């Protein structure tokens, strides 16, 4: 039998102050960006209106932060590098925290693992004072030269903790983290001018700005593309700016969230944003926004993590509901409120029209849309509206059967303008009142219109009007998908889909939603079955499971009930589609998140032809 190894009896001892500082440094200063964040937060808390940051090797070699804040006298400098000394807390309670910093750990932690130099001067002092800390060893303050404010220089980060330095990434990666930190802090303080240099190259240089101008600078867009938010629920307020669904990124790096002016990366808030944008953007894409949440201090706990980037809310459900609802309402405007994507092309593109034999013209019925032509003059006559003189010279191009209108004759109340032609029987070409060209994907646009009608009809009555099929249709499916459909037969009936079991792996379809008609019934039911079967937790007793899939099912129904690509439209039908897009919420993207229309400006056309660069 193997004997257990023997160890000396452990004894409890008090750790030295230096070891305590190194432990604290490991919690607070995990990388150069974390040290930079603490230093700039201190500068903002000190009332600075201008901050200059200079980094070398992503901050690993050097971090230099200069501000014009209130400064510190020699006695305050000595306290500043001592653990748990802070000017941010005026009492012993951690409730009314209004500053970004409050723990009193940043400067001692940096000084314990790096070489730290602080030069500071108050408005009342004739001279600046400098204090140094090298690996925890403090040198008393000495007179120095310097303007009013504070300059902090950190060099050789983690020289006192070599194990931590080994875990640092490349200078490029660390620079990326530092830039992200500075952009978030710049957003939180638009009243403060900020200049950031990386290896002597200017990363950004922002003056004092209004909140919308600062948001546009940080999000790399223009103010006119931002959708403002201002929602209030009780004492909680959500404000800020969001980009429309046409502007997304492959990662969440474009999401900036402030809570009481504090930049955070709270997972609950990110989830709420994802839920709000889910109906209007493609899966796998991330929206771009700058949100500011104001929460009463007593209903928020910021003392959750040493980095202070995660929070705890007293009522998470209230915050989640406000974010989802506020973003949903902001996104719920039609194309009349702007949107679309500016088309961009490579210089001198080669456009090739694929050969296609002329097809027999399909008899079309009017779309279920209200026709309103966008002219500022008298309405179109019935005789002009009934003309269908499509060009037969090129089957890919069908001009509208009316005289082309000049931009000044168009009503500015209709920003999508008047249709000019239909290209490839799929895309509507329109002329906007400002002279821009508009390209509309007729299937994607009508899909969104149908989706919103289905959503509105279901929300108003909880049931969609059904249209009985003249002959019930048998649909064969894999057994699992057929079982998923029948498990939700009662819920599907409320959507106008009346089903009966028809043996193993088959269902009998008796009705479809009246808004959709009898188009592509097999494809519709198979898509709905696939949507339901994709949930491994789906069962007949789960009431929340179907609600989770409801909007996706409505989207698939809209897709199958919309006008298809390749269908030739009349001029009045094209104009009706444009008018309905301007009135319909979320009309800038289809139900799958793809854009429904593109804008081609005069400058973009001139760039194509080499007139401008």
- DSSP readout, 113-150? HSEEEEEEE-TT-SSEEEEEEETTEEEEEEEE---SEE
Q: Say how many Å lie between the first and final Cα of the chain, rounded.
A: 84
Closest CA to 46 of 221, 260, 189, 207: 189
Report the length, in residues, of the chain.
613
CA torsion 189-190-191-194 (nearest 10°) is: 80
Report pLDDT for 11: 67
Structure tokens belonging to residue 118: 């602080």
Report pLDDT for 523: 77
Report pLDDT for 255: 92
Query: From 3.40.50.1100, 1.20.120.1760, 3.30.413.10, 3.30.230.10, which CATH number describes the 211-331 domain?
Result: 3.30.230.10
Report pLDDT for 349: 38
Instruction: Give CA–CA dist 584/414, Å, rounded.
Output: 13
Give start and end residues of each alpha helix (H) in 61-102. Answer: 74-80
Do 526 and 494 meet the contact criterion of CB atoms below 8 Å apart? no
Structure tokens belonging to residue 19: 């070891």
Instruction: Give CA–CA dist 284/586, Å, rounded.
Output: 19
CA torsion 262-25-66-176 (nearest 10°) is: -70
Do 137 and 39 meet the contact criterion of CB atoms below 8 Å apart? no
CATH topology of domain 465-514+516-560: Ribosomal Protein S8; Chain: A, domain 1 (3.30.1370)
Report pLDDT for 390: 40
Distance of CA 238 to the CA centre of its chain: 15
Instruction: Give CA–CA dist 10/529, Å, rounded.
Output: 63
* Eight-class DSSP state of 563: P
Residue 281, exposed/middle/buried by CB under 10 A (0-12, 13-18, 19+)? Answer: buried
Phi-psi region of 142 (alpha: psi -120 to 50; beta: other; left: phi over 0): beta
Instruction: Give CA–CA dist 246/282, Å, rounded.
Output: 10
Q: Any idea which residue has 């700058």 for tokens? A: 290
Do 178 and 32 meet the contact criterion of CB atoms below 8 Å apart? yes
Partner residues linked to 472 by β-bridges = none
Phi-psi region of 226 (alpha: psi -120 to 50; beta: other; left: phi over 0): beta
CATH of domain 17-206: 3.30.565.10
Q: Report pLDDT digits (tens) over 487-544.
A: 888 888 888 888 998 888 889 988 888 877 656 677 777 777 876 776 645 444 444 4
CA torsion 219-222-227-229 (nearest 10°) is: 60
Q: Give the start-to-end residue ranges of the domains of the chain.
A: 17-206, 211-331, 465-514+516-560
Instruction: Give CA–CA dist 185/203, Å, rounded.
Output: 14
Instruction: Please give the angle made by the CA atoms of 69, 109 and 301, to the nearest 5 degrees.
Output: 75
* Eight-class DSSP state of 105: -
Report pLDDT for 184: 93
- What sign has the CA pseudo-torsion 84, 88, 93, 98? negative
Q: Report pLDDT digits (tens) over 159-193.
A: 877 777 777 888 888 998 999 999 999 999 999 99
Half-sphere exposure of 115 (CA within 13 A, CB side): 6
Instruction: Give CA–CA dist 326/167, Å, rounded.
Output: 41
Ranges under pLDDT 70 in the chain? 1-9, 11, 13-28, 84-104, 303-309, 333-410, 517-520, 531, 534-550, 552
597-600 vs 341-342, strand pairing mode: parallel
Report pLDDT for 282: 75
Report pLDDT for 394: 56
Long-range contacts (CB closer than 8 Å, 24 or more residues apart) made by 199-206? 199/55, 199/56, 199/57, 200/54, 203/179
Residue 459 dihedral angles phi and psi, to the nearest 5°: -65, -35
Report pLDDT for 469: 85
């Amino acid at each position: 039998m193997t004997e257990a190894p023997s160890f000396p009896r452990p004894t409890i001892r008090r750790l030295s102050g230096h070891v305590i500082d190194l432990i604290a440094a490991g919690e607070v200063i995990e990388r150069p960006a974390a040290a930079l964040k603490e230093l700039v937060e201190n500068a903002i808390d000190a009332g600075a209106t201008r901050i200059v940051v200079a980094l070398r090797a992503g901050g690993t070699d050097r971090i230099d932060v200069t501000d014009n804040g209130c400064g510190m006298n020699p006695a305050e400098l000595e306290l500043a590098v001592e653990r748990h000394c802070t000017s941010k807390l005026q009492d012993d309670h951690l409730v009314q925290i209004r500053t970004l910093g409050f723990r009193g750990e940043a400067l001692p932690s940096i000084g314990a693992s790096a070489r730290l130099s602080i030069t500071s001067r108050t408005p009342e002092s004739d001279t600046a004072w400098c204090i140094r800390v090298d690996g925890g060893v403090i040198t008393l303050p000495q007179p120095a030269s310097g303007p009013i404010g504070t300059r902090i220089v950190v060099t050789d980060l983690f020289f006192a903790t070599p194990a931590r330095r080994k875990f640092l990434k490349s200078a490029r990666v660390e620079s990326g983290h530092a830039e992200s930190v500075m952009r978030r802090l710049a957003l939180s303080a638009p009243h403060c001018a900020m200049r950031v240099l990386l290896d002597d190259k200017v990363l950004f240089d922002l003056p004092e700005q209004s909140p919308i101008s600062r948001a546009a600078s940080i999000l790399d867009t223009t103010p006119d593309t931002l959708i403002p938010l201002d929602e209030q629920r009780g004492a909680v307020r959500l404000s800020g700016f969001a980009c429309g669904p046409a502007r997304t990124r492959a990662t969440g790096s474009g999401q900036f969230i402030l809570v009481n002016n504090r930049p955070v990366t709270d997972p609950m808030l990110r989830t709420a944003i994802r839920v709000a944008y889910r109906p209007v953007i493609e899966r796998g894409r991330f929206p771009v926004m700058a949100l500011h949440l104001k929460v009463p201090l007593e209903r928020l706990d910021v003392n959750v993590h040493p980095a202070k980037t995660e929070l705890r809310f007293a009522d998470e459900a209230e915050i989640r509901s406000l974010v989802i609802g506020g973003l949903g309402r902001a996104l719920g405007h039609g194309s009349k409120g702007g949107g679309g994507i500016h088309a961009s092309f490579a210089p001198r593109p080669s456009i090739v029209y694929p050969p296609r034999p002329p097809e027999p013209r399909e008899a079309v019925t009017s779309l279920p849309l209200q026709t309103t032509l966008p002219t500022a003059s008298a309405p179109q006559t019935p005789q002009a509206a009934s003309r269908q003189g499509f060009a037969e010279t090129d089957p890919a191009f069908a001009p509208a059967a009316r005289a082309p209108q000049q931009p000044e004759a168009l009503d500015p109340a209709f920003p999508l303008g008047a249709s000019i032609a239909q290209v490839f029987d799929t895309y509507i070409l329109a002329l906007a009142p400002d002279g821009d060209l508009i390209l509309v994907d007729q299937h994607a646009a009508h899909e969104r219109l149908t989706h919103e009608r289905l959503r509105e009809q279901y929300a108003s009555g909880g049931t969609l009007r059904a249209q009985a099929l003249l002959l019930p249709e048998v649909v064969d499916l894999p057994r699992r998908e057929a079982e998923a459909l029948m498990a939700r037969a009662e819920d599907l009936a409320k959507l106008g889909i009346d089903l009966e079991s028809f043996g193993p792996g088959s269902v009998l379809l008796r009705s479809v939603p009246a808004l959709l008609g009898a188009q592509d019934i097999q494809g519709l039911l198979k898509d709905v079955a696939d949507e339901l079967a994709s949930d491994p937790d789906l069962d007949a007793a789960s009431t929340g499971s179907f609600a989770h899939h409801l909007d996706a099912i409505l989207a698939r129904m809209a897709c199958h009930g919309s006008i298809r690509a390749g269908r030739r439209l009349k001029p009045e039908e094209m104009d009706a589609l444009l008018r309905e897009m301007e009135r319909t919420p979320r009309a800038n993207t289809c139900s799958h998140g793809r854009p429904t229309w593109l804008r081609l400006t005069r400058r973009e056309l001139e760039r194509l032809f080499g007139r401008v660069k």
